[in-house]
Amino acid sequence: MDKHYKALSAVFPIIVRQCDGKMQVLLHQRANTGYMDGKWDFAGSGHVDEGETAKMAVIRECLEELGITVDVEFVEFVHLSHRIGKNGGPTYYDIYFIVKKYDGIATIAEPNKCSALEWFDLGNLPNEIIDIRKLAIQNYLDAIPYSEIY
């Protein structure tokens, strides 16, 4: 494919739960990936592979990275971010989904890529969260379905 027309797609499950009357989100701390290592990111995120839909990718990534099973009916689209690559970097369509129900206990299934897994209150996110993920949470809370980052 001509690079002129190439854009990548990535999926980001915003896995949420209610705890003590507060909404919490599951984040993992990136490690050994070469991208934003040490920063907090949405747990279970990744690229959409050839031949799969975005929802299929969310389900696969949650199983691979967290060891949890997610049914397609509990994967709800909430935001699309068209992110233009800087300094020659790739352009991405970042697709965010809310996951409110899953089977199993979320654990670090890929310890070579993740150093921690924690629940955080949506109103008290860690300072070390990736900036565009913090923005995605705000877009979700504000019910903004589309954004552009360049």
Exposed / middle / buried, residue 145 (Cβ in 10 Å: 0-12, 13-18, 19+): exposed
**What's the pLDDT at 3?**
60
**Residue type for 36, please?**
M
**What's the pLDDT at 86?**
86
User: Which among 81, 107, 106, 92 has a CA at the least distance from the CA of 47?
Assistant: 92
**What's the pLDDT at 88?**
82
Please, what are the averages of pLDDT over each run of 10 residues along the chain (150 residues)? 76 97 97 94 96 98 98 98 90 96 97 97 96 96 96
**What's the pLDDT at 137?**
97
**What's the pLDDT at 63?**
98
The angle at the Cα of 148, spanning 125 to 113, to the nearest 5 degrees, equals: 50
Pairing between β-strand 75-83 and β-strand 92-99 as defined by DSSP bridges: antiparallel
